[in-house]
Structure 1
Amino acid sequence: MFILKSIPKKRIWGTPRLQAYSTESCEGKIGSVYSASATEEIDSPIVSKQQTLREVVQKNPQSFGLLEGEEYPLIISMTGADEDLSIQVHPTDDYAEKTVNKPYGKSEAWFFLTPPKSGSIIAGQTAASKQTFMTAIQENKYETILGKTTVTKESVVYIPSGTIHALTKGALVYEIQQSTDITYRFYDYDRSDDSGIKRELHTKQATETLELQQTVLKANFDLGQTLDVKEFTVRRALLAKNYRNQKSLAQVITVLTGTTKIAEQEIKQGQSIIVLPDEQLVIDTPFECMIATPKAYWRETSV
């Protein structure tokens, strides 16, 4: 078991509400509190150890159910927005392999702790062809082609890679994503960063990886339910007494509400634990959580 420290990251669209989900203090607009990540750019420190998650994965990948050279394939965060996020798309598996030499792209899912003020998110688009889509982009007529999906508290939304999407103002979510953490922006409301420089768009890459007919999957997500997709499973659970990881890959358990104690160590909401295959936890205090399990599907497609 590895208990992880949070990594809060400021964003111009972020919210101070996320401070309640971070183990580390960070004033101002926090866009994401990274709860579990083992990428080169975002690497979770391990509580009570002078090591990071990436370091222990690289040292002994087999203990995580990984092969030599593989990185831990999931990133878990709490993400919140006091403004609309950019209209964006993430690379598909094929596009990521061809352009950035990654074995997979970036699909993700959101569980809504707080729904957006508008009651909907950006999800998919309505253009019949890429030519129609590009014309709308060039004429700055995004609103004419963007799809929307209504969401409520405790909705879960799965966004397959290649799908246009955006969180909207007021939302606060538990987010699970693949570790190819690449975002291509179509449109960003002409916003500038803290230095006054207009934020970069990536229209060419975004259009190339866009899957026109694709949209999101939405469902209500009660306790005990599981979202099972190609890239991962995530289960909303109430854990008490004992828990064993019966999967072949390491899982990420993230506290959703309140605090808990495991092996006499306190763990607060938003914080994550890595549980290795066949490892058992002894739980001192019952808690509501998300249990995320990656799937090594890229091994099959690379054969």
Structure 2
Amino acid sequence: MNDTPLFLKPVFQERIWGGTALYDRFGYEIPSAITGECWAISAHPNGLSLIENGKFQGKSLKEVWENHHELFGNYKSEKFPLLIKILDANEELSVQVHPNDDYANEHENGEYGKTECWYIIDCDQDAELVFGHHAKTKEEVREMIQSGNWERFLRKVTIRPGDFFYVPSGTVHALCNGTLVLETQQSSDTTYRVYDYDRVDNQGSKRELHLEKAMGVINAPHIDTNIAPEIEKREGVEVTKFVQNHFFSVNKWDVNGEAAFQQNQAFMLVSIIDGEGRLLKGSEDYTIRKGAHFILPYKYGEFILKGNMKLIVSHL
């Protein structure tokens, strides 16, 4: 039996579109006022989370995954398969698309594809995001992109806090300004930019676009993904099941009081996005609060959460 959660130290990424919400909302020590991404649970080489507690303290999640596979149910994957981020879209992100596993494996040196999903933690009133496009064929996609007819091409939807979006590979998408999001995704850093609002970086250069690769993976016509959350209420908790497929399962736990849970997955990834409380198991008692991220290992078994808090929980 594995009795110790693995608490993780996030890695922060500066982005041209980032801001200060990761500090303002979570109190993280961010590197600058253009911090766009918190890589909260990551074994990807572009941002490795470090274990903060127990006998693996100071080791990277990648190292623990490779050398102590029993903690993860000996899950059959060479690489840790998931990546959890919090994104601060202080300005618009580029319009982009991600490849599937087959395309990424062939064109990106064996990288995973990137199917992802978003939980909207907070957003400005009347905030929007780009989700899909209006072209009916690949030929129309190319014509609209080449002509720069972005108003005609891009499909925008209005969002509010608590919304959830499932974003499969091949979906044209972009977060827009004033949005704070928890993202659950395949462990990949492969993005094909389609449009970047003609912005320049601090060197006066426009960021690279990847139009030919994007054309190779964009779904046309757009395939919409309608999520119908399932809600289960029981003593001390309301559980919302957002999505369950072969990429990941993502749930929200709204704990109010005391609730019992069972960890019976290969491993479980947990992010506290609001509130605080305690994690209790046997004689172990952990204080957990907004901004904490941890992994419950294989055969962790029964545990109790006490407090008033909101958690995003994912597993395979």
Deviation per CA, 1:75-96: give whole Å up to 9, x if none.
1111121211100001112211
In 1, Cα distance between equivalents of 2:49 and 2:260: 25
Partner of residue 29, structure 1: 34
User: Separation in 2 of the partners of 1:112 and 1:155?
Assistant: 5
For 1:65 and 1:120, the matched residues in 2 are separated by: 40
Does 1:15 pair with 2:19? yes
- Name the counterpart of 1:225: 240
Contact 1:21/1:33 (<8 A) preserved: no
The answer on whether the counterparts of 2:22 and 2:28 sit within 8 Å (CA) in structure 1 is no
Cα offset, 1:241, TM superposition: 5.3
Structure (1 or 2) with the greater strand fraction: 2
Q: Does 1:259 align with 2:263?
A: no
2:46 is the alignment partner of 1:41: yes
Contact 1:252 1:291 in 2 (8 A): yes
Matched positions, count: 293
Cα RMSD of the aligned pairs, angstroms, is 2.2
Match of 1:299 in 2: none
User: Which residue in 1 is equivalent to 2:60?
Assistant: 52
In structure 1, the residue matched to 2:234 is none
Residue in 2 aligned with 1:297?
Answer: none
Deviation at 1:183, TM superposition (A): 0.7
**Is 2:245 the partner of 1:245?**
no
Q: Distance in 1 between matches of 2:200 and 2:310?
A: 38
Q: Secondary structure at the match of 2:274?
A: coil
Cα deviation 1:74-119 (Å, max 9, x = unaligned): 1111112121110000111221122124374111111112135443
What TM-score, normalized to structure 2? 0.85
State the distance in 1 between where 2:7 and 2:311 align. Answer: 14
> Quick check: 1:64–1:277 contact (8 Å CA) kept in 2?
yes
- Indicate if the aligned counterparts of 1:45 and 1:53 stay in contact, CA closer than 8 A: yes
* Deviation at residue 12 of structure 1 after TM alignment: 1.4
Q: Which residue in 1 is equivalent to 2:164?
A: 156
Matched, 1:4 2:22: no
Residue 84 (1) aligns with residue 83 (2): no
Structure 2 unaligned residues grouped into runs of 5+: 232-237
Structure 2: how far apart are the matches of 1:52 and 1:147?
39
Q: Which residue of the partner structure matches residue 250 of structure 2?
A: 234
Matched with 1:287 is 309
Equivalent AA in structure 2 for residue 9 of structure 1: Q
Correspondence 1:269 to 2:290: yes
**1-side partners of 2:178 and 2:8: how far apart?**
27
Identity of aligned residues (%): 30
Contact 1:116 1:168 (8 Å CA) reproduced: no
**1:188 equivalenced with 2:196 (yes/no):** yes
Return the offset for 1:216.
4.3
2:139 matched to 1:131? yes
Q: Contact 2:70–2:298 at 8 Å: present in 1 too?
A: no
The superposition leaves residues 151-176 of structure 1 with CA deviations (integer Å, 9 ceiling, x where unpaired) of 22211010011100000111111111
Structure 1 unaligned regions, length at least 5: 295-303
On the 8 A contact 2:127/2:177 being kept in 1, the answer is: no
> For residue 300 of structure 1, what is the aligned residue in structure 2?
none
Are the counterparts in 1 of residues 228 and 242 from structure 2 also a CA contact under 8 Å?
no
Deviation at residue 133 of structure 1 after TM alignment? 1.4
Report deviation, 1:197.
2.0
- Give the secondary structure class of the aligned counterpart of 1:224: strand
- 1:255 alignment partner, SS class: strand
TM-score by length of 1: 0.88
Greater shift in the superposed pair: 251-260 or 21-30: 21-30
Shift of 1:207: 0.9
